[in-house]
């Protein structure tokens, strides 16, 4: 039951005030300025001064001084003195930038991800923000889609654990606590599977696939207590998520018991008319409110239509009140009625933003999320070697990744700075001109200059990848190869007799097969954040032993996409390469270039002796470090239902554990096998556990596994 003071506020509101409480605008509009990066249909909407005096929340800008002034100015003209909510996209750090979420997924380290989210919340809260549009837990299988960088990866179990960790980190146990902000799960639902990997495109899938793969991560974030949910742009079963009763009423609120606030994405309420499910703003507003959408972001449909709809009897005022109550309850949970400025504090900003502790945490998480894809023994580097550095990411701070909020490229540690700091000497550098925003297609062709600059180098570290602004929203691609001049650089250095170590700065899995043979080592570092240069250097020189595992499969080429490990088995699987009438390609193997869960180390681990308890409730395996140095690895448990009422995936990740072992050390690793791990949604959409035979797989990636069969009643 809502608190009485909230019910009193709602009872005192006019319909216009309720509509504006349900409307989110950029703060510039309050000061009668037009925001710089307007998208979609927003330019057609205009608001009167009395409307702006009762809007409910703002999007975007931050900074303690600015937001304190905005709140003060707003409350001075607000009739009911209901504080504004300040929200922004604090995706992987505020001023201290952490590695992109895809890299965080590769850490398989929930505790560290939670710690980074908590540090992010401290910075964002000190800057005056109340809500972050994070975590983004859309399951992703198509690297052509630019927003894969925002997701923890392709696996529902991993994504769910990462989502819950981020929610806990942002929110703690009490949103009123200093340094806490509300988490907003996005994008509900299935936004990560647009047709052809093209941003904002149609999503079409069966209800079973939606239930099996795409919904579980959101549900885990809801279980963790997320305060908000953002709807996605796409259709789900031919209805836009923004007004989708199946998603918002039945699944989110009824089945999962979500009590918090639901917000649209940017102008998505208006876009229901583009989807041809609403003829005009009135119909769009009615459908969205009746579906349970509380806040409209950056369009004026609610503001223009709700009063008329209620007065004409086409929408019950109680349905509007339901939305407003949830918004006010969130403001109450944050303590804004007692302190409308919450944690906004310029002194705290100076202390917390980019502080030593947060930079150290960024460096640690960046290292854990980097994945060693290939190593012929050249790594770790010996500082006494003649080492050269080349490539567009050799000496640039543009390694933060998309959505880096208030991060500044000039504050990022470049690879050159990190390596020279480790070596204590200057490095020869060639072909280091970075990507320019105005020249998106390639970097300058200065391979000859690079060969001259690195002529005396035995080992060439080649820092290559994709520009950070070509990842994130509206950054879909059909070509995932490195640019021609970057590939040319790798081939030329190898042809010159150099040992080539490729360091890949990307926001997605790229098509790297064309350069793989000419690389002696390949280290996937993603966009590693503020401390990226030091983190990469730590791995290159062996100060940190890589332990990251791929959270997303690497394709051999774009034609394989989507390629992912937890697929359903076809009736004609490829067993032998000479089997013709099977599910296969003529020109490419079915297998990926690098599988989910894959990642090398500077030592070697083995898994052996997998055994299950007689009742099938426990599985144990012996993990041994058979190499010459200490290291960490991630032990992974997968399950397959041998015979079920509906087809089940060939493997599903159900548990994992990071362990550290000294050279020669071994340890027994045990997993509990629960009914929940073996359950699924049947044809009637009921969650069931069917007795029968199950295969358990334990290993160090999704392909190198030990297998045992169990029977569960």
Active-site residue identified among 212, 265, 270, 294: 265
Tell me the C-alpha distance between 227 and 244, whole Å: 20
Tell me the C-alpha distance between 136 and 233, whole Å: 14
**C-alpha pair distances (Å), 613 with each of 493, 641, 652, 707, 713:** 54, 17, 20, 14, 14
For 608, the token pair is 């052996």
Tell me the C-alpha distance between 261 and 255, whole Å: 16
**C-alpha pair distances (Å), 618 with each of 229, 514, 644, 670, 688:** 36, 43, 21, 7, 20
| Per-residue buried b or exposed e for 568-596, using 16+ beta carbons within 10 Å of the residue's own CB | eeeeeeeeeeeeeeeeeeeeeeeebbbbb
| Per-residue buried b or exposed e for 473-493, using 16+ beta carbons within 10 Å of the residue's own CB | bebbbeebbbbebbbbbbbbb
DSSP string, 571-586: SS---STT--SSS--S
Tell me the C-alpha distance between 490 and 449, whole Å: 13
Listed residue (285, 143, 137) closest to 222, CA to CA = 137
| Active-site residue flag, 265 | yes
Listed residue (673, 672, 690) closest to 681, CA to CA = 690
Tell me the C-alpha distance between 168 and 601, whole Å: 30
DSSP string, 64-123: HHHHHHHHHHHHHH-SS-PPPEEEE---SBSSSBPPPHHHHHHHT-HHHHHHHHHHHHHH
Active site residues: 265
């Amino acid at each position: 039951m809502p608190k009485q003071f909230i019910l009193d506020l709602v009872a005192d509101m006019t319909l216009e005030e309720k509509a504006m409480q349900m409307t989110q605008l950029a703060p510039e509009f309050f000061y009668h300025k037009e925001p710089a990066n307007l998208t979609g249909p927003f330019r057609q909407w205009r608001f009167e001064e009395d409307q702006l005096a009762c809007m409910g929340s703002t999007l975007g800008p931050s900074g303690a001084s600015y937001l304190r002034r905005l709140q003060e100015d707003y409350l001075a003209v607000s009739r009911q003195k209901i504080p504004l909510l300040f929200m922004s996209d604090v995706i992987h750090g505020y001023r201290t930038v952490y590695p992109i979420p895809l890299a965080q997924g590769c850490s398989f380290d929930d505790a560290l991800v939670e710690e980074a989210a908590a540090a992010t919340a401290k910075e964002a809260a000190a800057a005056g923000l109340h809500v972050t549009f994070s975590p983004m837990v859309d399951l992703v299988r198509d690297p052509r889609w630019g927003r894969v960088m925002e997701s923890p990866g392709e696996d529902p179990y991993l994504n769910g654990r990462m989502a819950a960790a981020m929610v806990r980190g942002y929110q703690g146990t009490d949103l009123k606590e200093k340094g806490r902000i509300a988490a907003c799960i996005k994008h509900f639902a299935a936004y990560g599977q647009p047709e052809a990997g093209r941003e904002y495109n149609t999503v079409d899938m069966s209800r079973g696939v939606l239930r099996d793969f795409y919904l579980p991560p959101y549900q885990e974030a809801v279980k963790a207590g997320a305060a908000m949910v953002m709807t996605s742009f796409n259709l789900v079963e031919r209805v836009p998520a923004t007004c989708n009763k199946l998603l918002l009423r039945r699944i989110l609120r009824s089945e999962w018991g979500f009590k918090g606030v639901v917000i649209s994405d940017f102008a998505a309420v208006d876009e229901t008319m583009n989807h041809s499910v609403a003829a005009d703003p009135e119909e769009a507003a009615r459908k969205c409110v009746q579906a349970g959408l509380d806040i409209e972001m950056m369009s004026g449909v609610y503001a223009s239509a709700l009063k008329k709809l209620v007065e004409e009897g086409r929408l019950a005022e109680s349905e509007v009140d339901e939305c407003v109550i949830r918004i006010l309850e969130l403001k109450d949970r944050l303590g804004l009625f007692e302190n409308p400025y919450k944690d906004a504090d310029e002194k705290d900003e100076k202390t917390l933003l980019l502080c030593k502790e947060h930079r150290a945490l960024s460096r640690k998480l960046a290292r854990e999320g980097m994945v060693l894809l290939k190593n012929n023994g050249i790594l770790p580097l010996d500082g006494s070697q003649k080492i050269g550095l080349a490539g567009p990411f050799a000496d640039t701070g543009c390694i933060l990744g998309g959505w880096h909020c208030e991060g500044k490229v000039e504050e990022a540690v470049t690879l050159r700075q990190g390596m020279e700091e480790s070596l204590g000497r200057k490095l020869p550098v060639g072909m280091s001109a970075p990507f320019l925003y105005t020249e998106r297609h390639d970097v300058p062709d200065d391979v000859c200059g690079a060969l001259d600059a690195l002529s005396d180098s035995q080992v060439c570290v080649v820092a290559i990848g994709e520009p950070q602004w070509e990842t994130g929203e509206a950054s879909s691609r059909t070509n995932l190869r490195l640019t021609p001049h970057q590939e040319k650089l790798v081939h030329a250095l190898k042809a010159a007799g150099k040992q080539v170590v490729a360091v890949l700065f990307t926001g997605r899995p790229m098509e790297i097969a064309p350069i793989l043979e000419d690389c002696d080592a390949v280290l996937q570092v993603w966009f590693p954040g503020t401390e990226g240069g030091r983190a990469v250097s730590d791995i290159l020189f062996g100060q940190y032993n890589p332990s990251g595992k791929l959270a997303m499969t690497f394709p051999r080429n774009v034609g394989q996409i989507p390629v992912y490990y937890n697929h359903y088995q076809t009736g004609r699987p490829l067993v032998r390469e000479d089997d013709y009438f099977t599910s296969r390609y003529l020109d490419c193997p079915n297998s990926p270039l690098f599988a989910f869960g894959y990642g090398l180390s500077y030592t070697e681990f083995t898994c052996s002796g997998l055994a299950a308890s007689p009742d099938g409730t426990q599985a144990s395996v012996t993990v041994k470090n058979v190499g010459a140095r200490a290291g960490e690895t991630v032990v992974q448990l997968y399950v397959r239902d041998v015979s079920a009422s509906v087809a089940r995936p060939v493997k599903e990740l159900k548990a994992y554990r990071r362990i550290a072992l000294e050279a020669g050390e071994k340890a027994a690793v045990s997993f509990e096998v629960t009914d929940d791990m073996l359950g699924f949604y049947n044809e009637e959409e009921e969650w069931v556990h069917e007795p029968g035979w199950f295969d358990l797989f334990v290993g160090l990636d999704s392909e190198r596994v030990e297998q045992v069969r169990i029977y569960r009643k």
